[in-house]
Amino acid sequence: SPMTPILQSKDGPAPEPITDETISWMASITFFPPIFCGLLVGDLADRWGRKITTLLTSLLLTISWSITLFSLTPWALILSRGVAGIACAGCYVVTPLYLKEVASDKIRGALGSLFILSQNFGYLVVYVAGDIFSFNSVLWLCTAIPFLHMLLFLGVPETPVYLIKQGKIKEARATLAWLRNTSLDDKNLQEEIQQMEREEEHAKSVQKATWRSLVKDKTTFKAFRLSINVMLSQETCGYLVVLMYAGSIFEQASESIHLKLSPNKQTIVVGAIQLLGSILASCIVEKTGRKWLLAVTSFITGLSMLGLGAWFFLTSYSIWLPGWFPVAAMCCCIFADAAGYQPVPYVITSELFSFQHRGMVTSFVSSVDALSDFLQTKAYDPLLKLLGIHWVFIMFSIVCFAGTTYTVLYVPETKDKTLEEIYAILDRKKDKRKDAEAGKGLEMSRL
């Protein structure tokens, strides 16, 4: 963060210079509340609606930044990041749900990818603001953005899917007509509403959605395993470590290629690359599909990680390698991750489940992701000391390649498909596996 050197400066705005330990807790505590709050957010989204839950996350973010306006003591900074962590739990659960339930099938992936694009745009805004404006001005800006969002979101409707679940059919129809910019008599609109009603009637005819019902239904449980594996691959690919080590990579590169950038300029470069990758993802996800975009970007991320690991390994033995290589590998990794490896798993997870299971599964996945991020930020230094940075990057490259293999072999293409069509694909794969096993058994019996 561009604010870290200012907080640690003797002449900074804090009552006393902030220690490295406090900075470490500020970074990691953000991921701690979502481990537990993620499950609660899904329940709130199902009980109170997607809109109210989203408004609550904006309110919490406003409170989080307001704390820093009143105090910059270590406890206040850590508390602020903790409250922000609760808000992040809400964002990462309810935002994909809302986007999925308001989007038409044709733009479902592109709209879902806007979640990560908006996040990376926000990062870049803060990086640039930190380089241009004063510390207090940045705090006011960060407080104003979620507050303004909260005011604007008051005029945004609830999702049609949730309204139908509440029995508000007329309101759902009017909302969908507004979202699709069409009339209430539109034929496609009527068909979409009828499809939602059929799904709700089917949901009422079966038992209430619980973890037991999710595990009991083999196809739904298979979809659950797919979403967990895809999200874990994304979260454990080492992306956070690359961002943490970006400053060191720029510093070492400056020794041989004279690329001298201030820490603030470095974060701006990283933020710009993230944003460009996110823009590409939103533009091509509906053309390439989810599966192959995820597979290709995870593979490129793995190659970049392997390149970074090889560079650090060889240079540790005083073998000369061009200084531009780690910068290129790092930029390629950040770009590929933002262009597919980060956003696509959120899109896939939101598309794999019905309304009844969508909230609880997204909440659980969010909690698992937060735990993974928390452990990575706290284990970062011990891993470096134990293995060395080169083996850390090589280890993460293996995770990326494993994710690529899993995606190619098991993840179905969800582009332009209804839930019934997606589950039919999962069932066919299961049937093919059973047929193959039966064929092998028959061959053995013949022998």
How many CA within 13 A on the CB side of residue 412?
26
**Local structure of residue 220 (DSSP, 8 states):** H
DSSP states of 405-416 as a string? HHHHHHPPP-TT
What domains appear along the chain, each with residue ranges and CATH number?
Answer: 4-156+206-429 (1.20.1250.20)
Predicted confidence pLDDT, tens digits, the chain (447 residues): 567 777 888 888 888 888 878 887 887 788 788 888 877 888 888 889 999 999 999 999 999 999 999 999 999 999 999 999 999 888 888 998 899 899 887 888 888 888 889 989 998 998 899 888 888 999 999 999 999 999 999 999 999 999 998 989 999 999 999 999 888 888 889 988 988 888 777 766 666 667 787 888 888 899 999 999 999 999 889 888 787 777 777 776 666 666 677 777 888 888 999 999 999 998 998 888 899 999 999 999 999 999 999 998 998 888 887 878 888 999 999 999 999 999 999 889 888 988 778 888 888 888 888 888 878 777 777 888 888 888 989 999 999 999 999 999 999 999 888 888 898 998 886 555 454 444 444 343 333
Tokens 């790092």, residue located: 330
pLDDT value, residue 56? 95
Question: Burial letters for 53-86: b for 16+ Cβ neighbours within 10 Å, e otherwise?
Answer: bbbbbbbbbbbbbbbbeeebebebbbbbbbbbbb
> Coil, strand or helix: which one is 49?
coil
Dihedral angle sign, alpha carbons of residues 134, 135, 138, 140: negative
CA distances (Å), 256 to each of 224, 250, 304, 320, 322, in order? 48, 11, 20, 10, 7
> Coil, strand or helix: which one is 91?
helix
pLDDT value, residue 19? 84
> Coil, strand or helix: which one is 344?
helix
Listed residue (381, 385, 379, 377) closest to 26, CA to CA: 377
319 phi and psi angles, rounded to 5 deg: -85, 125
Contact between residue 120 and residue 271 where contact means Cβ atoms under 8 Å apart:
yes
Distance separating alpha carbons of residues 80 and 197, to the nearest angstrom: 42
pLDDT value, residue 8? 81
Q: Which two tokens stand for residue 346?
A: 């959120």
Count the Cβ atoms, other than its own, within 10 Å of residue 365: 25
Contacts of 441 (CB under 8 A, 6+ apart): none
Distance separating alpha carbons of residues 402 and 38, to the nearest angstrom: 27
Please, is 318 exposed, middle or buried when counting C-beta atoms within 10 Å of its C-beta (0-12, 13-18, 19+)? Answer: exposed
Contacts of 426 (CB under 8 A, 6+ apart): 219, 222, 223, 412
pLDDT value, residue 447? 33
pLDDT value, residue 93? 86
pLDDT value, residue 430? 54
Count the Cβ atoms, other than its own, within 10 Å of residue 175: 21
Length of the chain: 447
Distance separating alpha carbons of residues 295 and 77, to the nearest angstrom: 39
pTM: 0.81
CA distances (Å), 427 to each of 110, 302, 421, in order? 27, 31, 10
**Local structure of residue 340 (DSSP, 8 states):** I
Distance separating alpha carbons of residues 236 and 376, to the nearest angstrom: 8
Contacts of 132 (CB under 8 A, 6+ apart): none
Distance separating alpha carbons of residues 331 and 242, to the nearest angstrom: 10
pLDDT value, residue 429? 62
pLDDT value, residue 255? 65
Please, is 331 exposed, middle or buried when counting C-beta atoms within 10 Å of its C-beta (0-12, 13-18, 19+)? Answer: buried
Listed residue (375, 356, 359) closest to 38, CA to CA: 359
